[in-house]
Structure 1
Amino acid sequence: MNSVSKAAIAAAVLLGMPLAMSAPAAAQKKDEAPAIKVSAEFRKAFTAAQAAQKGADIAAFEAALSAAEAVAQNDDEKYYTLLMRYDLETKKRNEVARGAALDRIIAAGRVTGPDLGDLHFVRGQILAAQKKYAEALPHYEQARALASTQPDLPLQRAIALFETNNVQGGVASLDEAIKAQEAAGKKAPEAWYKFAVSKLYQSGNKAVAAEWLSRQLAAYPSNEAWRSSLLIYMEQARAKGVAMDADQELDMLRLMRASKALGGESDYLNYADIAQRRGLPWEAKAVIEEGRAAGKIQASNAAANELYRSATTREKAEGSLAPEATKAASAANGTPAKNVGDAYLGSRDFAKAAEMYRLALQKGGVDANLVNTRLGIALAMQGQKAEAKTAFQAVSGAPRGDIARFWIAWLDQPAA
């Protein structure tokens, strides 16, 4: 009987394919196993088992293999019946017996290097399918250490790490999986990002969850993805005790507006109501007009009509902002400049808003995180991406830092 290379052995096991008694020419390498010695009796029984292996009658295959196992005497004979046993249990879908056979194949020491890593990967998969993630994880670690060629290894290792409550390790492995996809010129599935976000929120790690939401949005920047991701973030933040105040929610709604992610009537009315309560009638009025134009707000909606009437009246009463800007320039601190900046932002005079926010930061005495967020928004809406990102990157803490990261993700989107 001819020799069979380690690579051929590994391929046969991994693919559940019948094992040829000789290796193909491409598999012949310097590291081939020594010539196999078998008895005539075993050769006859094993040949019969190989013939049965090719058929659809599993019972006949098992009977033939049992006969070969019964006459197997030396290590070679036992090893080859073991490989066939793995194939039989795979066909029978007996995962426990299949795993036991694979354990013995690994322990035999005839496969080394990346091929052995591939075997460990398969063993981990078998255990993971049985929800035995703690037992699967060491096999994934061995597969990784042996440079397994299996492309799903980082993802499956990440799942096992998450399921054994190692969230940090799971995130790192999932990041590795995504980067491997990118290196191969592929795009990681959106479900991978969602999985990481879900696990991070469950663990209470809101900051990193927000980063992954930003990555998800950068990779899958549809309007619906923006809407669902921002709503999920706000819901999860509230669930974890990080309730947003009106100013923070307003800046999230502004992002939903910029990303065209405002949904139904309630989104528009909530946005307009918050803007009106924050003293921004220009913005409240504009949002209602947009909702009407998009067919999201019905002409008969009494609440919307009253809000629009009130915003229009207040807008007319406001007059020019120029005198207030002049006063802000000579004020002792930055609060007046911040307030005028808010008014300019609400009326979509983004250049003037940016000017006032910079003045507010220069004078001090203001919430720098809030002012930098809005400076970033004003710059972003003018298309000044680099300057906007610099402002957003100066924002820290939760949820302000998360809001800023979402805006950065929006800026990083490919042009439509």
Structure 2
Amino acid sequence: MAGTTLGAASPALAQKKPEAAKPAPPKLSKPVMAVVMAVQKLQQAGDHAGALAKLTEAAAVPRAEKDDALILAKLKLFSAQTIKDNAKLEEGLTEAVEAPSITPDEKLMFSKFVAGLASNRKDYGKAWTWYEFYLGQKPDDVEITVQAASVAAALKQPARVYELLTKAIDLREAKNETGDRSWYEFRAQTAIDNKMDDKLLPSLLGWVKAFPEPKSYNLAIGLVKQRQGNLDNNVLVDFGRLMSAAGAMTDANNYLEYADAALDRGMPNEAEIVLKEGIAKQLLDGSKQNIKEFVAQAASKNAESKAGLAALEKDAKTSPRLALVVADTFANLKQYDKAITWYKTLVGNAMIDQDTVNLRLAFALKNSGDAAGAKAALANVKAGPRAIIAKFMDVVIGDAA
């Protein structure tokens, strides 16, 4: 997000746009006219360094007439641009935007170049002054908005950085386009570094929505999970399901944490599936003794769980707590229709945490192919870590639908 740099390919700053009517000749004082003639003679001879030196000598000449300052500034622009002298170019631009006779259109155009050149040499106060002026009249200029955000960052104004990057992203997305990856990442990093807790989740959701990739999901979900404090295995299972659904299981720890939580919560089939997937992807080493024992333990408990399911179903008819276990077990066995039926019997039951029920119902509906139903269930997840999981899952389903 660097400032504008002007060089050989820069616009011809000293040239005016063609006008329908012939403009009136500039009104110059005699001392300035003498300087103009001397400078133009040097320029015509190709001596632009000499022309700039002559203009420097004339700095003390009074600008008595309304066009004096602008004409001298434009002469400086012409020579500075020709020999690619950015210091003199910035001087000329600054003198031009401050000249009393400059047109509003030229002042607007020149102001963004003043800002860019000032930013390049780290004069961020001056850069911000002219970016602010420009954006006050051209608020929908995305590239300048991003450059202004960079300057705001240098000035240590995080709230303004976040606001400007959000505006740039919104402008692009309003056209069904995606902003540059760095905009989303810088916005999220700004929220993290400056403890902007109310803005962190929206920025991360915006990032993964724009770039629904394993790496972005893994980092974003990991960041919000870390900020939830110590989570019990019941919640870690749901985070694991989210990571899996998002394709965000990118390292061994992701698989081990998910499998351990699932096994602890009586979901051995899920633990076994997760471990075998990690081995298949070569993120877990199936030849290591601890992994072998982990898989064997999950497989053994899985067999026990399946054997006892019929009896558990009978008892679950009078026990909401057991009904949730049955629903989870069917979901683990990928028997989603049965899982959905059991979860739905628990919707609205005050004895069971409704965020848990609705989130797991959403997972089952999504896995059964009912994206619309899943999104409706996610909308009923209201608080705590599961509400965060639901927001990410809504993005995942939106991408897949």
TM-score by length of 2: 0.83
- Displacement of 1:133: 4.5
**2:312 pairs with one of 317, 324, 335:** 324
Please show how residues 205-284 of structure 1 align to structure 2 within 5 Å: 205-235=196-226, 237=227, 242-284=229-271
Aligned to 2:290: 303
Q: Distance in 1 between matches of 2:114 and 2:259?
A: 57
Q: Which runs of 5+ in 2 are unaligned?
A: 1-5
- Displacement of 1:88: 5.5
Aligned to 2:3: none
Answer whether contact 1:373 1:392 (CA < 8 A) is retained.
yes
Greater alpha carbon shift after TM alignment, 299-308 vs 248-257 = 248-257
Please show how residues 334-345 of structure 1 align to structure 2 within 5 Å: 334-345=320-331
Q: Distance in 2 between matches of 1:394 and 1:104?
A: 60
Residue deviations 1:294-325, cap 9 Å, x none? 23333311111101111111111122534433
**1:124 pairs with one of 109, 115, 125:** 115
Aligned to 1:367: 353
Amino acid at match of 1:292: I
SS at match of 1:187: coil
Amino acid at match of 1:324: L
Please show how residues 401-416 of structure 1 align to structure 2 within 5 Å: 401-413=387-399
Amino acid at match of 2:50: A
Residue deviations 1:309-344, cap 9 Å, x none? 11111111122534433433323xx43322322222
Greater alpha carbon shift after TM alignment, 281-290 vs 349-358 = 349-358
Aligned-residue CA RMSD (Å): 3.3
Q: Distance in 2 between matches of 1:34 and 1:49?
A: 25
- Displacement of 1:220: 1.3
1:203 paired with 2:188, answer: no
Q: Distance in 2 between matches of 1:113 and 1:398?
A: 53
Q: Distance in 2 between matches of 1:150 and 1:362?
A: 49
Q: 1:148 to 1:381 in 2, by over 3 A?
A: closer
Q: Distance in 2 between matches of 1:61 and 1:114?
A: 27
Aligned to 2:12: 17
Q: 1:63 to 1:130 in 2, by over 3 A?
A: closer
Amino acid at match of 1:254: R
Q: Distance in 2 between matches of 1:60 and 1:18?
A: 20
Aligned to 1:45: 38
Q: Which runs of 5+ in 1 are unaligned?
A: 1-10
Amino acid at match of 1:358: K
Q: 1:43 to 1:60 in 2, by over 3 A?
A: closer
Amino acid at match of 2:396: W
Aligned to 1:81: 72
Q: Distance in 1 between matches of 2:351 and 2:260?
A: 28
Please show how residues 103-142 of structure 1 align to structure 2 within 5 Å: 103-113=94-104, 115-131=106-122, 133=124, 136-142=127-133
**2:145 pairs with one of 145, 154, 163:** 154
Amino acid at match of 1:190: R
Q: 1:143 to 1:361 in 2, by over 3 A?
A: same
Aligned to 1:62: 52
Number of residue pairs matched?
388
Q: 1:119 to 1:273 in 2, by over 3 A?
A: same
Q: 1:72 to 1:141 in 2, by over 3 A?
A: closer
Q: 1:204 to 1:151 in 2, by over 3 A?
A: closer
- Displacement of 1:58: 6.0
Answer whether contact 1:350 1:379 (CA < 8 A) is retained.
yes
Answer whether contact 2:127 2:151 (CA < 8 A) is retained.
yes
Aligned to 1:381: 367
Answer whether contact 1:123 1:136 (CA < 8 A) is retained.
yes
Q: Distance in 1 between matches of 2:38 and 2:13?
A: 15
Q: Distance in 2 between matches of 1:391 and 1:207?
A: 24
Q: 1:409 to 1:42 in 2, by over 3 A?
A: same
Greater alpha carbon shift after TM alignment, 163-172 vs 301-310 = 163-172
Greater alpha carbon shift after TM alignment, 251-260 vs 117-126 = 117-126
Identity %: 23
Greater alpha carbon shift after TM alignment, 311-320 vs 34-43 = 34-43
Residue deviations 1:202-254, cap 9 Å, x none? 2323453222222211211222332233234434x26xxx3433233222222
Q: Distance in 2 between matches of 1:103 and 1:395?
A: 56
